[in-house]
Amino acid sequence: MRIYFTGVGGQGTLTATTLLSRAALDAGLELVAGEVHGMAQRGGVVESVLLLGGWRSPKLDPGEADIILGFEPLETLRGLPYLRPGGAVFSSSDPLPPVSVSMGNALYPAMADIESKVRAAAGLCRFLPCRELGLQAGSAQSGNTVLLAAVCASGLLPFGVDVLEAAVRKYLPAKIQDVNLKALSLGARAFAE
């Protein structure tokens, strides 16, 4: 299974990749993970991959991702070339406009257009209000855990929400565990609805 993560700098995309990787390791799975491309500055595109099942390199070519995890909707749209036909997309529905949009030099596409294009390319597509659910849990940053919980609840991965919950308890600092456990519950529930 090949998972492609995409978001923008400062969102915690790489932290989410690490957490899901550790959950997979704890489930006894072979994996390779890596950052494909990342900007150190806030707002730059960040991409990473997690390959489950005996891969030798964290390389992902266009059309190979079984799952896209998009932490920002426009970056989800931009990542579609990596999705295999009929693949699954889990994305935040909360825009974080790039600097060019903030400066008035570009327009952010309408969410309806983004969702329409993504749904047309995916066999399974779920847009979730990750920031809103993260805030309900106690922190906007825990919105990433909402997205991870949704993909774990989907049944597409070879492990479930219980394994992710154990990883949150084991690997996240104690001061943010409760918020992320609440976010995990909200994400699993949001997928089920």
Question: How would residue 36 be classed by pLDDT, with cut points 50, 70 and 90?
Answer: low
User: What's the average model confidence in pLDDT over 61-70?
Assistant: 96
Give the whole-number percent of the chain exceeding pLDDT 90. 74
Measured at the alpha carbon of residue 44, what is the angle toward residues 83 and 4, in degrees to the nearest 5?
20
| pLDDT(40) > 60 | no
For the stretch 116-171, pLDDT in tens is: 999 999 999 999 999 999 999 999 999 999 999 999 999 999 999 999 999 999 99
Residues 8 and 60 sit within 8 Å (Cβ to Cβ): no
Question: How would residue 191 be classed by pLDDT, with cut points 50, 70 and 90?
Answer: very high
Question: How would residue 4 be classed by pLDDT, with cut points 50, 70 and 90?
Answer: very high
Q: Is the pTM of this model over 0.85?
A: yes
Residues 91 and 76 sit within 8 Å (Cβ to Cβ): yes
Three-class secondary structure of residue 8 per DSSP: strand
User: What's the average model confidence in pLDDT over 97-125?
Assistant: 89
Angle (deg, nearest 10), helices 143-153 and 174-192: 50
Nearest to 72 by CA among 17, 114, 104: 114
CA distance 72 to 185: 21
Domain range 2-192, CATH class: alpha beta
Pick left, alpha or beta for residue 159 (phi over 0 → left; psi -120 to 50 → alpha; otherwise beta): beta
- Domain definitions of the chain by residue range: 2-192
Mean confidence (pLDDT) of the chain: 91
